[in-house]
């Protein structure tokens, strides 16, 4: 196992809103300076492991990228000779915006956050005009967004921003690197139905993600923080029990991705997985999923 870095945000979670923080985290990670540093760090850590374990260089690799860490992982694979055979996109941002759009989204989030926290005293609209122009927010949508920010309705701002991001993913090209010809045989694209990245369109179903055969896997009821064990668990807390259930399934899925047709066999034989043929998505109903709708 080779650990790779996850971007540590430059902001504090001052609004105590997980969806808000996740959006900001993912878009900060797409800013050029931060993105470049993440790609460099992934490459350095991977190379350092191979220098210390030369025999591992020829071994096939199952690589997993979580959330905003998936994009720098893909960039590293695309620019290296690492022997990656299978890739898991776990609750991942699988849509990469250009630097201007990413910066505009981070700016809008920051301005809204500062207004809500009473850090801005001057008129807000002139500050946001360049951001609105870059994101294509026009007409009544400007007034609607401003009203939500001025009234400090963080949930409404989040909904409006998510709608705009979803619209952008449908109308602008993704900058995600292409891995065709790099030896990657498959990508397991995994998300939860309550994941904020699915709700904003920067996660969710993809066809031939990065130019590679993609198996789309949807875990019903899973949120963005459910895919891995959180630690400091309370065995009597139902939320911790659900986290263990989801994380256990994800662990088994990653293990099954390590050779040949293992992932397909795992999905076909697992009692909690059904293939939705109409959507071509493997839908996962884990025990007690009804409690997390």
Q: Which two tokens stand for residue 12?
A: 């504090």
DSSP 178: P
pLDDT values of the chain reduced to their tens digit, one per residue, 293 residues: 666 656 555 544 455 566 777 788 888 888 888 889 989 999 999 999 999 999 999 899 999 999 888 999 999 999 998 999 999 999 999 999 999 999 999 999 889 988 988 888 888 899 999 999 999 998 899 999 999 999 999 889 988 998 999 999 988 889 899 999 999 999 999 999 999 899 888 999 999 999 999 999 999 999 998 999 877 766 667 778 899 999 999 999 999 998 678 999 999 999 999 999 999 999 999 999 999 98
**Quick one: DSSP state of residue 209?**
G
d(CA 253, CA 81): 25
Query: CA geometry: angle at 169 spanning 98 and 253, to 5°?
Result: 100
pLDDT at 268 (0 to 100) = 96
| 45-48-50-53 Cα dihedral, nearest 10 degrees | -120
For the chain, report the end-to-end CA distance as a whole number of angstroms.
34
Closest by CA to 92, choosing from 207, 187, 191, 211, is 191
pLDDT value, residue 185 = 94
Residue appearing with tokens 């031939």: 208
- Kind of pairing between the strands at 84-90 and 61-66: parallel
Cα atoms in the Cβ-side hemisphere of radius 13 Å centred on 250? 27
Reported pTM: 0.88
Confidence (pLDDT) at 11 = 46
Sign, CA dihedral 139-145-146-147, equals positive
Q: Are 256 and 86 in contact (CB under 8 A)?
A: no
Round to whole Å and give the CA distance between 14 and 208: 38
Q: Which of 140, 139, 146, 69 is nearest to 108 (CA)?
A: 146
């Amino acid at each position: 196992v080779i650990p790779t870095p996850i971007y540590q945000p430059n902001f504090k979670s001052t609004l105590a809103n997980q969806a808000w923080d996740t959006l900001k985290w993912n878009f900060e990670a797409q800013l050029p300076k931060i993105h470049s540093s993440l790609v460099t760090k992934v490459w350095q850590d991977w190379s350092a492991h191979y220098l210390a374990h030369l025999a591992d260089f020829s071994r096939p690799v199952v690589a997993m990228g979580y959330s905003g860490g998936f994009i720098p992982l893909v960039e590293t694979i695309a620019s290296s000779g690492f022997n990656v055979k299978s890739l898991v996109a776990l609750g991942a941002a699988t849509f990469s915006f250009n630097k201007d759009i990413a910066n505009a989204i981070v700016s809008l989030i920051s301005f809204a956050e500062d207004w809500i926290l009473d850090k801005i005293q001057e008129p807000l609209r002139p500050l946001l005009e360049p951001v609105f122009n870059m994101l294509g927010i026009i007409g009544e949508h400007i007034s609607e967004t401003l009203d939500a920010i001025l009234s400090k309705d963080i949930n409404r701002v989040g909904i409006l921003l998510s709608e705009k991001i979803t619209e952008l993913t449908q109308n602008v090209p993704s900058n995600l690197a292409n891995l065709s010809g790099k030896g990657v045989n498959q990508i397991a694209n995994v998300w939860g139905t309550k994941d904020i990245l699915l709700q904003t369109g920067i996660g969710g179903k993809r066809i031939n993600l990065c130019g590679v055969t993609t198996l789309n896997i949807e875990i019903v009821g899973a949120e963005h923080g459910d895919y891995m064990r959180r630690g400091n668990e309370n065995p009597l807390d139902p939320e911790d029990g659900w986290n263990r259930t989801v994380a256990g399934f994800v662990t088994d899925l990653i293990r099954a991705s390590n050779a040949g047709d293992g992932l397909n066999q795992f999905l076909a034989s697992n009692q909690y997985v059904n293939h939705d043929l109409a959507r071509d998505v493997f839908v996962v109903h884990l025990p007690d999923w009804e409690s997390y709708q």
